[in-house]
Structure 1
Amino acid sequence: MIRYPYRKHNKKSDADKNNKNSSRYLKIEAHLETNLQQFKELTSNSPDFLIRRFSLRLKADVPAAIVFLSSMVKTDMVNELVMKSLLSHPSAEVAAEAKSAEELFSRIQSHALELGEVKECDDWNSMMEQILTGYTIILLEGCEKAIACGTRGGEARAVAEPTTHTVVSGPKEGFVESLFTNISLIRRRIKSSDLAIEMFKVGNTSLTNVAMLYMKTIADQSVIDEVRRRVKSINIDAIFESGMVEEMIQDHYLTPLPTIYNSERPDTISSNIMEGRVALIVDGTPFVLVMPTVFAQFFQSSADYSERFSMVIVVRLIRYISFIILILGPSLYIALTTYHYEMIPTPLLISIMAQREFVPFPAFIEAFILEVTFEILREAGIRMPRVGGQTVSVIGALVLGQAAVEAGLVTPLLTIVVALTGIASYAIPAYNMATAGRLFRFAFMLLAAFMGLFGITLGLIALIAHMNSLRSFGVPYMAPFSPFILENQKDAVLRLPFWMMQERPKSITSTNQKQMKDGSASSPSNETTPQEGGAQGASGEGE
């Protein structure tokens, strides 16, 4: 059963319910100048709000106007496909045949415009939504409707290599801040009519476009309905980032672990859609959300499917080991040097005690100071200018570490442990999972300081129990480990050859399990040469 926590902010307020009484929901006036004056008032005479007046020939000149935001349209489309179409000689003849403003409106809509996207607006709400998203509005004197022409444009970042999910081999394209560009990047990879796209307006004021993508023949209908319901239930003034949507629709709040996966790689999102997941693209951000999500998904990289499976198995094991080092490295040092001396080999113990002889702080305080210093350097390296940021952070870590050791504040061994812990966090492909591991690290340090290995054991039991209690849109977070699904182990910790992965993850979808055609999943070792096949055929005929 899909669990969805109750949210007070998702209930529509009385002000929202009565919003339809505002002027934005009024009908469009038949008088052109009244409409244009209303436009000016609603946009506060914004400098990028432009009005172009002209006349169309009926029995007498009919005043008309186009209205658009210059910062949101392609000016060439407005000039060539709207104005030139309306004022050209053939269009003038079409307009002259009309007997009324309504008939003129219909003829323009069906015969005069050389555009692929033309909509009709009959109230102020729909008309303002269109103009704020880059449409050009055509208004006629004596007509209580408007024509919205698709002229979306404006400045946008070009498609470039992803900055966070980088790979050595594989596609180099990354999502951008344009919703329709991101949809096209997925369309290029999934050329199927089964790819369904639903559009939503999220944010009472920002009216941010959100697209939901899924495969109709693969994704579970219950998951699709639940994602749709949660997105529609968002009640907030503005949405500017996919992280805001993620926080509003996720199953669990009181956990540092991410329960919704995000990526800026079109190939990663496309492969997740083909596995039966649902993707959410938010206009204005290059990070696309994917749900349902499982724990193992955060340790998979796009490069895993571009390299040989034997190497990928080793790399994935290293990632899981890195996560264990990330959360347990400093805490094991604290526990062993504070409570469990007998577990350390004697030569190493003598060396550690000699190093700690002049250190004035206990192991926990010592480790805490170094970890906080490392986190400060990490954040400073991210915020500093790209030219020297990484260099300053690396040099700063070396200089501060060496100075702290020489000053007798920390031991050299702990400096090595903290450095190894920090490096291990970068081995995890998903940044949000690495961040969660960094938070757990401090909790385990505290447990180790008070209870030693016993406290670490209790913390691990609590962490595993917590992870098993999580759900992502009804799917167990720890699948396919708990519940254990043998068939899905082929692409969890390990990554077996493609010819062995014939089925989609059972925890994600149950409607269309087969992802490989019959006869194409045979092992290469079982394939026969033409000579062997011919001999077998002759033998069969002889029999």
Structure 2
Amino acid sequence: MDELYLFLFRFDVMAGAIIVFIVPYIFSEIGESLKKIHKETKRPYIEKKSMKSLTGDLSKDISHISECVGRSSDLSVRKFVIGSSGMKAALIHIDGLTDKQMIHDHLLTPLMTLYAGKNFSSNEVESFLLSKHIPMTDVKENKTIDDILHGILTGSAALIIDRLHDAIIIDVKGWKSRDIMGAPTETLVRGPRIGFVENLRDNTALLRRLSPSPNLRMVDYQIGKQTKLCSLVYIKGIAEEDLVEEVSERIKQIDIDNALDTGYIEQLIEDNYLSLFPQIQNTERPDRVMGALLEGRVAILLDGSPFALIVPVTLPMFIQTPEDYYERWLPMSFFRMLRFTASFISVFLPSLYIAFVSFNQGMIPTKLALSMASSRINSPFPSLVEAILMEVSVEILREAGLRLPRPVGSTVGLVGGLVIGEAAVKANLVSPIMVIVVALTAISSFVIPQYNIGIGLRILRFGGMFCAATLGLYGILLFLLIICIHLSKLESFGTPYFTANIFDFKDVKDTIFRLPLFSMIIRPKELSSDINKYRRKKKRL
């Protein structure tokens, strides 16, 4: 018997050594190899533009532009004559992207009638119109067909004049957009009731309203072969230049047909695409973005998406909410620690149940152990199978509730959970205490404020259950150790994801708990230098 115990002990030690040292090394090597392959196959950023210019023949230029967009039915071409000069011209725009009333009142009417008595030659017409007779703010000249097409397809109108090789691009955007309202995915009891929308300039204006500082910088990039406008936002003097340059370079290297949402950008610029933990934060709230910018972080906005990206990030940022700073520090510190506790419960509660039932019964109080044993008398499955059946059922119900219409989805989730849980207990498929464990796990996962970090934790839950079913509490500790090793190695744009200044009180005071605002004088150390590290100079009197 002693030899058997000795053998089992040696087996546990060997298994632990393999899990702790060899498995992380293997996965690390695989990850590095895939990163290398991904980096080698990534095509460099090359700006490709056709240099073909207008011919000066109005009919040929109109025909060529129409062919470039496939003679689409929404392409509007309005031919007219400028004043009494007899000079032919055409105004080209996309119906639905432009403001027709603006075109009629400020372009066609002045050019056709108001200055009918003015005669001018082809050499002076362009400068004459730009300087005096086009009452618009955003007007520029373009020669290449690609630039003209880009202007037309992004909501501008192109004024082409016969015998001229330049087109005048006039900004007359006027498409329908969603009204600015609250962020539906990040609801708060107290805080601003505004959220980003799909219009990029509306979103940048929201940030300007929160901070009218001239140091708030916005740099635009064209990403995708089909050209989508992306804006890099930071505060000069607070954000480190190296960080801004790194984010800028990663955006320039994006090679994709079109980015429909910032989720495309997130996946293409993140550090470790094999990790279950997101290294970029997404948000619909301008106040969250501005708070991150004031810490020295960088934001990425995309035209057509209401979600902004924040980089770099750390793990505690996904458990925090903007409301933590709008209420007093004591209750918010309590609720923040409650969220961290709920995150731990959502990952490890089913694993702990399996370990205690299958391996470590001696650690349970006697009365509780007898109660759990009596409830499992008629259960035909081991605890691992019970947990997997219930957890998979909950995940299916959760996914169904998200994809169905909102009134139906909430009903399906509530009724489905009650019916399945009660029916499973009555059929003796699972024990009642298993239903309680799964319910507590699901409720704890709802406390996590960020959806993307919640997905990763839900997947880790299944890994923890298998480790608990194999080695009990020992397996759970090894699994937790592997997670900690992975988080310690993980980075977000060069910033440690998990262990950044964890023993520095000046940074820890705004992680798991939050101290009063007047004590937060210094910005996060990993994002600041000696020049920009102070938020303010004086403490509270």
1:7 to 39, 46, 53: 39
Cα distance change on mapping 1:168 and 1:357 into 2, 3 Å:
same
Aligned to 2:413: 393
Aligned to 2:98: 73
Aligned to 1:506: 525
Contact 2:83 2:112 in 1 (8 A): no
Contact 2:347 2:460 in 1 (8 A): yes
Q: Measure how far apart 1:312 and its partner are.
A: 0.2
Q: Distance in 2 between matches of 1:310 and 1:424?
A: 22
RMSD over equivalenced CA pairs, Å: 1.6
Contact 1:480 1:492 in 2 (8 A): no
Aligned to 1:180: 201
Q: Distance in 1 between matches of 2:431 and 2:412?
A: 23
Contact 1:78 1:151 in 2 (8 A): yes
Letter matched to residue 197 of structure 1? M
SS at match of 1:237: coil
Q: Measure how far apart 1:106 and its partner are.
A: 1.4
Aligned to 1:246: 266
Aligned to 1:26: 52
Letter matched to residue 236 of structure 1? I
Q: Distance in 2 between matches of 1:517 and 1:186?
A: 25
Aligned-residue identity in percent: 35
SS at match of 1:223: helix
1:294 to 314, 332, 341: 314
Q: Measure how far apart 1:85 and its partner are.
A: 2.9
Cα distance change on mapping 1:9 and 1:114 into 2, 3 Å:
farther
Q: Distance in 1 between matches of 2:284 and 2:193?
A: 11
Aligned to 2:191: 170
| Matched pairs, number | 506
Letter matched to residue 73 of structure 1? T
Q: Measure how far apart 1:388 and its partner are.
A: 2.3
2:468 to 436, 448, 453: 448
Aligned to 2:443: 423
Aligned to 1:338: 358
Aligned to 2:123: 102
1:41 to 58, 67, 75: 67
2:291 to 268, 271, 274: 271
Contact 1:479 1:485 in 2 (8 A): no
Aligned to 1:208: 228
Contact 1:85 1:114 in 2 (8 A): no
Q: Measure how far apart 1:12 and its partner are.
A: 4.4
Contact 2:83 2:113 in 1 (8 A): no
2:215 is equivalent to residue 194 of structure 1: yes
SS at match of 1:369: helix
Q: How does 1:508-523 map to 2 (within 5 A)?
A: 508-510=527-529, 511-518=531-538, 521-523=539-541
Cα distance change on mapping 1:92 and 1:488 into 2, 3 Å:
farther
Q: Measure how far apart 1:236 and its partner are.
A: 1.1
Could you tell which deviates more after superposition, 509-518 or 190-199? 509-518
SS at match of 2:160: strand
Note the alpha carbon deviations across 1:161-206, whole angstroms, 9 max, x for none.
111111001111011111111101111001100001000011012x
Which aligned runs of 4 or more in structure 1 are off by greater than 3 angstroms?
Answer: 3-6, 479-482
SS at match of 2:465: helix
Note the alpha carbon deviations across 1:82-140, whole angstroms, 9 max, x for none.
21232242x445x52x33x2310111111110101001111001111111100000000
Q: How does 1:345-364 map to 2 (within 5 A)?
A: 345-364=365-384
Aligned to 1:528: none
2:107 to 59, 82, 100: 82
Q: Distance in 2 between matches of 1:319 and 1:281?
A: 28
Q: Measure how far apart 1:411 and its partner are.
A: 0.6
Q: Distance in 2 between matches of 1:332 and 1:497?
A: 36
Q: Measure how far apart 1:214 and its partner are.
A: 0.2
SS at match of 1:136: strand
2:345 to 314, 325, 334: 325
Q: Distance in 1 between matches of 2:116 and 2:371?
A: 94
Q: Distance in 2 between matches of 1:486 and 1:195?
A: 30
Q: Measure how far apart 1:8 and its partner are.
A: 4.0
Letter matched to residue 219 of structure 2? E
Contact 1:162 1:264 in 2 (8 A): yes
Aligned to 2:29: none
SS at match of 1:289: strand
Letter matched to residue 349 of structure 1? A
SS at match of 1:185: helix
Contact 2:188 2:323 in 1 (8 A): yes
Letter matched to residue 145 of structure 1? D
SS at match of 2:472: helix
Q: Measure how far apart 1:404 and its partner are.
A: 0.2
1:285 to 288, 296, 305: 305
Q: Distance in 1 between matches of 2:501 and 2:393?
A: 36
Q: Distance in 2 between matches of 1:375 and 1:217?
A: 46
Q: Measure how far apart 1:317 and its partner are.
A: 0.6
Aligned to 2:82: 56
Q: Measure how far apart 1:351 and its partner are.
A: 1.2
Aligned to 1:261: 281
SS at match of 1:454: helix
Q: Distance in 2 between matches of 1:130 and 1:8?
A: 34
SS at match of 2:378: coil
Note the alpha carbon deviations across 1:476-507, whole angstroms, 9 max, x for none.
1114454x322112211111111111111111
Contact 2:77 2:93 in 1 (8 A): yes
TM-score, scaled to structure 2: 0.91
Q: Distance in 1 between matches of 2:59 and 2:499?
A: 63
1:467 to 482, 487, 492: 487
2:439 is equivalent to residue 412 of structure 1: no
Q: Distance in 1 between matches of 2:474 and 2:351?
A: 11
Aligned to 1:142: 163
Letter matched to residue 72 of structure 1? L
SS at match of 1:25: coil
Contact 1:9 1:235 in 2 (8 A): no
Aligned to 2:16: none
Aligned to 1:378: 398
Letter matched to residue 174 of structure 1? G
Q: Distance in 2 between matches of 1:40 and 1:250?
A: 39
Q: Distance in 2 between matches of 1:378 and 1:57?
A: 65
TM-score, scaled to structure 1: 0.91
Letter matched to residue 103 of structure 2? V
